[in-house]
Structure 1
Amino acid sequence: MLASIARQVAVSGWNPMMGRDILAEPVTAAADDGAGTPVVATRSAGSAMGTGGALLPLLALAACGDGGGGSTASASGSTSATPAAATTPVVVVNAAPTPTEASRFLAQATMGATRSTIDAVVSRGYDGWLTDQMALPRATTHWDWLVANGYDAATNRNYLSGLDPTLWRQMIVEPDQLRQRVGMALLDILVVGIDGVSDQWRAFSMAAYVDILLDNAFGNYRDILGAITTNFAMGSFLTFMYNKKANPTTGAQPDENYARELMQLFTLGLYQMNMDGSLKMNGGQPMETYVQADVSGLARVFTGLSPATADTSTPARYRMPMVINAGINETGASSFLGTTVTGGGMAAVKSALDTIFAHPNVPPFISKQLIQRLVTSNPSPGYINRVASKFVDNGQGVRGDMKAVIRAILLDSEARNLPTAATTGKLREPVLRLTGWARAFGVNSPSNAWGIGDTSNPTTRLGQAKGHSPSVFNFYRPGYTPAGTSLASSGLVAPEFQITNEQSVVAYVNYMYGLIANGTGDVKADYTAILTLAADSKALVDEINLVLAAGQLSAATVTAIRGAVDSVSATATNGPINRVGIAILLTMASPEYLNLR
């Protein structure tokens, strides 16, 4: 497949400005399904992957295994009730990483490695680098950047202008990369999408929401729950803003949307869990965490929440926490999850959130999803247990300490040891592929316009864009597995494959081809450093393999990429930049790059 792309690059002359897609023709590709079995995918015009088992060109199925823990996951994403292998955290603190190990660590902990950050991890060690990152303040908030760049002008009131530029800019160039990566993981769990937010100044309301996640990324999960509950964008997205108490005359009941999603998606999940993520069973059936009566009772608590001011002449109110409108707030008893709160107001909201936060499901439910976002799609029961234990108690009696949880995830032996099983890892989500390239090769926007835009179109761009989730279930769900594959038959999940099909694969390659070669607007890479290696295909491919792919390209793939690079003379007109472009594109199209292990 890589040879096929290389041939098409050679035909097109590495010039996307000609308007020719790199993968415009039907493609037949052989890949490995992660279990050592070759599978074939054929793309014809207009086709897409169905449920019958047709697989994908370019992407070897990321058979994301259990990290050697011995459990299997069901198609719903829950694990069988196997006892945890070890409850004592297995952490790597003082290890002196090699450059390759440092790059792999950064692939999990940042929006993309750079030569300088690899050197920093080698020098400081994993724990030292984490300490440095957690001490970094934010250079600027998304809100303040929007204001500083004039997006608060009255002409922008009803437009989305500014959100994409500020998100891309921070993900790519800001030094607080651990915060950026964790914040984006939280955005994938505590989902708000700008297209589902109503009212004016939507870019600002979304910016204020993302700022909450970034500002609290190293704080406490309970504080995050409190902040999102009173946030304008969340109140609009999940329709509980202006939520009214029950009306006995008309029979109207409070909106239950937030109450349900708060429990189902943000804290508890549908079924009761053990600390290792396995399900608690009763009579062979999983035990529910809540029932409809709990949803209805909790919905009564979230009545009355309203914007702090009615002034929409400026964006100011969209950053202000919502307040209680006493006229529509329920002050009577509200019962849920075995507890009852009374009196209404913010005191009732606080009591409700405290009750939910104390639920035993929160540590394994949230810990597992954070592991999935950062390290592996199918963490072992032992891994989940160790991280969830840190969620319960950071070692100083504090529950929900995000710093402790993040350290537990990234320093665990299952994260740091290179897995020997071919069934471990995760498919790199599309946004991280773009930011990985952008960071590796110094992408910048001299005008500060950052005109990358919304990349969520699956037929022409990435099929994903931060801040543009189509629903509260995100672009992909943590329990998704591609039907008709060895992943499904093995009971494994691969969340990112929910947005992966033959069309999106082709779109990804074509889109990255254009970005690598020409950028977009004034958003361009700086290939000055890598061009010094252009004449030496071994040095060139090795460097790209290290920084972009964490050294995970196989010998066969390296040989194939070097052959494609060497098909272009280093002394030909534009030869050096063409060789660099081919090496980068083919690396980013390789299964070993796409499946981060």
Structure 2
Amino acid sequence: MPAPTSAPPAPSAPPAAANAGAYATTALTAATLLAACGGASPGAPDSPSPRPSVLGTVIRADAISDADAARFLAQAAMGSERAQIAAVQQLGYEGWLEAQFALPASGTRWDWLVAKGYNASTYKNSEAGFDAAAWRKLISSPDTLRQRVTLALSEIIVVAIDGLVGLGWRAFSAAAWLDLLEAHAFGNYRALLGAVSTSVAMGQFLTFRGNSKANPATGSHPDENYARELMQLFTIGLVQLNGDGTPRLAGGAPIYTYGPDDVSGLARIFTGWDVDLAGTTTASPDFIRRPMRQYPARHETGAATFLGHTVPSGLGGADALQAALDIIYAHPNVAPFIGRQLIQRLVTSNPSRAYVARVAAAFNDDGQHVRGNLRAVLKAVLLDPEARASGSGATAGEGKLREPIVRFTGWARAGKASSATDSWGIGNTSNPATRLGQSPLRSPTVFNFFRPGYVPPNSGIAAAGLVAPEFQIANESSVVGYLNFMQRVVAVGVGDVLPDYSAWLPLADDAPALLAELNTVLAAGQIGSATQTLMLGALNAMPSGSDARRLNRVRTAMLLVLAAPEFLVLK
């Protein structure tokens, strides 16, 4: 991936206890973050070098190197660790996926909130508990693939906790939303759309909860927010696509998928939906966990026409919803539009046309004539030749900037971070100047933290005709904030969440061995010799020979790896 042309300043001065030589090296590597995609010549993303076949080919477990297994986990999991590397090597890529598919869900965020007493009335107008519930699952749940896919889905079908207004119990509404995505992460995309369209959280966020049919006397019309975003962001996108994700053209111009009349027609479907309070009240959050119900008096029973199809008049609200979702789901854009975004969230920002086409084909038919089987889609994404080819052979346009949440969980999983009190006091990490600049379910808009088509302006990425979504939240403030935050986290943890570096202490007196291990586990062996030379200079300048000194060496080596351009950009 070609590099942007500017680099941010070094982080602010570290605490006095930090090693000055090591910190200087950290600042040097941090300053290259916005140029972190460098090292390859500009080129078209659709002309990758020849790749060995992976799909349909059995890869022997003993052919998977440590680095290859760690790279796979960087795409498929919330982080890499030695036990998971060994599991990938034992089971093979597909076997590891099947084992993850078979793992039972590891409890719900909702139940954790209840167990911690956050359903007490004093918390009704509070977000307390949500951040802890979200981070707990991302960091500690054994079903790490399910957590990674849940995160990806939350960035495609977006709900944000700060937009959940009007009912109270925002922590529970946000937790229920993530639990819903997790429950459907390995299911069928059409079933997911049905659940999303009756979710209280989505009804709150995109404001169709309580939506009523048009009233000619007052001139009111149904709220159109959800109808618009359901098409634009969650299913078909703005322009018609070929099966490989490229725009269909007419006279050299893209063809739009829908217009204002389609939005107005579809909005009629989303009338009459509101919370189900049967047998309960808003004094308890329980109603938020239920799907919304239909209130027939508010529902528009007339015909609804959109996308060239009509939902006939006279249908009840629930039947009309199913008919409308079937129309949208049948659109040929759904497979390439959603498939490409899953590739971007998990593997690479600029997948080739052929890669998108293969994933879209798996979406359209899982081999058993089932459409939308997310297990089949995830296999297609993660086992594709372009995903599994060695990172050392990456061509221009391949790879992606790791988003801050994934960098943080990479540290937490590798460092065996845990919360002894089970309170997971990490908090909201959205502040770009002092924390990560990103936090689960805290996107500023329905368009996610970053757009799938974002291009950093005045950059090598732009000059090469590439996109780099995560760079939308990478700037001078967030780069420095990330490094300063992670310096503290690596050294002393965050809240009650503490790492366990004991496995690495025996390597600490041998700087090359320590760095090699962290390079493998955290960076999939992708840190190059020039960067390693800088790191080793800093580590070798540090005293050794005692447990305290060894621990300082481990912390410094960890921070250096987390700051390295080759860690930040996964090839």
Flag whether TM exceeds 0.5 (same fold). Answer: yes
In 2 relative to 1, CA 66–242 (structure 1 residues): closer, same or farther, beyond 3 Å? Answer: farther
Q: Which residue of 2 aligns with 1:323?
A: 293
Out of 549, 566, 570, the residue aligned to residue 592 of structure 1 is: 566
CA contact (8 A) 2:42 2:396 kept: no
Q: CA deviation at 1:67?
A: 12
TM-score, normalised relative to structure 1: 0.88
- State the alpha-carbon separation in 1 of the partners of residues 132 and 23 from structure 2: 27
Q: Deviations over 1:538-595 (max 9, x none)?
A: 1100110011101100011112111111111113683111111110111111110000
Q: Which amino acid is 2:271 matched to? A: T
Distance 1:71 1:252, change over 3 A: same
CA contact (8 A) 1:5 1:22 kept: no
Displacement of 1:64 in angstroms is 11
Matched residue, 1:80: none
Judged with a 3 Å threshold, the aligned counterparts in structure 2 of structure 1 residues 188 and 70 are, in CA distance, closer, same or farther, namely closer
Shift of 1:22: 6.4
CA 72–325 in structure 1, closer or farther in 2 if over 3 Å, else same: farther
Corresponding residue number in structure 2 for 1:286: 254
Does the aligned pair in 2 maintain the 1:65–1:424 contact within 8 Å? Answer: no
Task: Confirm or deny: 8 A CA contact 2:155 2:448 kept in the other structure.
Answer: yes
Following superposition, the deviation at residue 430 of structure 1 comes to 0.3
- Aligned amino acid, residue 183 of structure 1: T
User: Are 1:275 and 2:243 counterparts?
Assistant: yes
| Alpha-carbon distance between aligned partners in 2 of 1:325 and 1:66, rounded to the nearest angstrom | 59
The equivalent of 2:196 in structure 1 is: 228
- Measure the CA separation in 2 of the matches of 1:64 and 1:477: 25
The alignment status of 1:150 with 2:117, answered yes or no, reads yes
Q: Aligned residue for 1:336?
A: 306
Residue 103 in structure 1 maps to residue 70 in structure 2: yes
In structure 2, do the counterparts of structure 1 residues 186 and 92 end up closer, same or farther at CA, with 3 Å as the change threshold? farther
Counterpart of 1:345 in structure 2 is: 317
Q: 1:311-390 alignment to 2 at 5 Å?
A: 311-341=281-311, 342=313, 343-390=315-362
Match of 1:170 in 2: 137
Give % identity.
52
Counterpart of 1:94 (choices 59, 67, 78) is: 59
Q: Deviations over 1:306-343 (max 9, x none)?
A: 00117111110001000111111000111001111122
Q: Say which is worse superposed, 305-314 or 200-209, in terms of deviation.
A: 305-314
Q: Distance in 1 between matches of 2:363 and 2:369?
A: 10
**Is contact 1:367–1:405 with CA below 8 Å preserved after alignment?**
yes
Aligned partner letter, 2:88? V
Using a 3 Å threshold, how does the CA distance of structure 1 residues 557 and 15 change in structure 2: closer, same or farther?
closer
Q: Is the 8 A contact 1:272 1:288 kept in 2?
A: yes
Tell me the equivalent position of 1:441: 415
What is the SS of the residue equivalent to 1:340? strand
- Amino acid of the structure 2 residue aligned with 1:389: A
Q: Is the Cα contact below 8 Å between 2:54 and 2:383 reproduced in 1?
A: no
State the shift of 1:422 in Å: 4.4
Tell me what 1:462 maps to: 436
1:32-71 correspondence runs (5 A): 57-62=32-37, 71=46
Displacement after TM superposition at 1:521 (Å): 2.5
The answer for the alignment partner of 2:4 in structure 1 is none
Alignment of 1:370-449 (within 5 A): 370-418=342-390, 419-449=393-423
CA distance in 1: counterparts of 2:162 and 2:175, whole angstroms: 13
Task: Write the letter of the residue equivalent to 2:339.
Answer: S
Structure 1 residues 66 and 477: alpha-carbon distance in aligned structure 2, compared to 1, 3 A threshold = farther
Q: Deviations over 1:213-256 (max 9, x none)?
A: 10110000001100011000100000000011011111111000
Instruction: Read off the aligned partner of 1:139 and give its amino acid letter.
Output: S
Give 1:206's aligned residue. 174
Check whether the contact 1:72–1:491 (CA below 8 A) recurs between aligned residues.
no
> Unmatched 5+ residue regions in structure 1?
32-55, 74-84
The offset of 1:151, in angstroms, is: 1.4
CA distance in 2, matches of 1:7, 1:321: 48
**Which residue of structure 2 lines up, in the alignment, with residue 259 of structure 1?**
227
- 8 Å CA contact 2:186, 2:375 repeated in 1: yes
Change (3 A) 1:99 1:127: same
CA distance in 1, matches of 2:334, 2:180: 20
Aligned partner of residue 527 in structure 2, secondary structure = coil
Tell me the distance in 2 between the aligned counterparts of 1:66 and 1:133. Answer: 37
- 2:39 and 2:242 map into 1 onto residues whose CA distance is 22
1:39-91 deviations in whole A, cap 9, x for unaligned? xxxxxxxxxxxxxxxxx643424369999985389xxxxxxxxxxx99x9845
Task: Indicate whether 1:505 and 2:509 are aligned.
Answer: no
SS at match of 2:173: helix
For residue 137 of structure 1, report the CA deviation from its aligned partner: 1.0
CA distance in 2, matches of 1:5, 1:496: 20
Q: Residue in 2 aligned with 1:51?
A: none
2:13 is aligned with 1:12: no
Q: Deviations over 1:252-310 (max 9, x none)?
A: 11000000000000000000000101110001110001111000000000001100117
- SS, match of residue 419 in structure 2: coil
Q: Deviations over 1:107-148 (max 9, x none)?
A: 000000111000000111001100100001112011111112
Structure 1: distance between partners of 2:441 and 2:563: 25
Q: Identify if the C-alpha distance between structure 1 residues 89 and 280 changes in structure 2 by more than 3 Å, giving closer, same or farther.
A: farther
Q: Distance in 1 between matches of 2:250 and 2:386?
A: 31
| Structure 1 Cα separation of the partners of residues 92 and 196 of structure 2 | 34
Match of 2:455 in 1: 481
Alignment RMSD: 2.6
After superposition, residues 298-317 of structure 1 pair within 5 angstroms as: 298-309=266-277, 311-317=281-287
Name the CA distance, whole Å, in 1 between partners of 2:240 and 2:530.
45
SS of the equivalent of 2:182 reads helix
How many pairs were matched up? 551
TM norm structure 2: 0.92
Within 1, Cα distance between the matches of 2:54 and 2:219?
52
Structure 1 contact 332–344 (Cα < 8 Å) conserved: no
Structure 1 residue matching 2:155: 3-state secondary structure: helix
